[in-house]
Amino acid sequence: MFEGFETVDVDTGDARIFVRHAGDGRRPVMLLHGHPRTSATWHRVAPRLLALGHTVICPDLRGYGRSTGPAPTPDHAAHSKRAVAEDMLAVARHLGHDTFDLVGHDRGSYVALRMALDVPERVRRLVLMDCLPLSEHLDRADAEFATAWWHWFFFAQPEIPERVIAADPVAWYRPKSDPAIMGAENHHELMQAVHRPSVVRAMLEDYRAGLTLDRRHEEADRAAGRRVQAPTLILWSLRDDLERLYGDPLRIWRSWADDVVGNGIDSGHHIAEEAPEELTCALHRFLAR
């Protein structure tokens, strides 16, 4: 995987972030993965973007994969999207990029949204995949949402999910982690990660922060009238449930961002693994504008 890429560990103060990167410094784009993946989820997309002339940065989020972070805090602030966004800004600074394009999928999309709202001067273009703002999900939560996305609320419980997942990480994560679809090396990296209790705990803290502190941060943005300033591309999986639950996601995103375009992609949830060519084309077309 990632032929031609280098790796580096970036010390951000209270975290150490593992990063894959390559390129000559022009047109930098940072790719942020979702749960429970690592930066390896981009292994079919990142080399394609590199070949198209982009400088590509693929970090493991705080606590995920080979990145480490601080111990959880009672208010979950140590794993808030704001804290993780600060890590990603430190990674960009370390690699010499003051501004960059930003792509987030799933949990990574919430980190990307937080960066775009907190430091709009740093984000040139924004791509968000398979997501709405956390507060929008929660404001619309009903029995259908809770049934489909039950794991959000299970992960929020103290201690119980850690014990359940640690009992058999392979059984927990394997149903949605097929090596034939993911690629063998990507799958191996994921399985190594989820066998580490510290990684599982950090991933759960990500969800706990999402239902509490991250939601409040978004509500504060709305109350203050803050909106995404960067041109924004919204992509979603046609074989996942975002459109079924909410209709056209662009309708909701237009209340958060001034310049929004987007479309669905014929794929399951992990678009970078299942539809890499179509995703690369969509990213390059948007980022090269």
The residues carrying an active-site annotation are 106, 269
Rounded to 5°, the CA angle 199-161-129 comes to 60
Q: What angle do CA 34, 47, 63 make, to 5 degrees?
A: 30
Write the CB contacts of 275 (distance below 8 Å, at least 6 apart in sequence). 265, 266, 267
CA torsion through residues 161, 81, 90, 92, sign: positive
Which residues are CB-contacts of 41 (< 8 A; sequence separation ≥ 6)?
33, 34, 105, 182, 186, 270, 272, 273
Distance between CA atoms of residues 236 and 191, nearest Å: 26
**CB-based burial label for 37 (10 Å; 0-12, 13-18, 19+):** buried
Contact present, 201 and 79 (Cβ < 8 Å): no
In eight-state DSSP terms, residue 1 is -
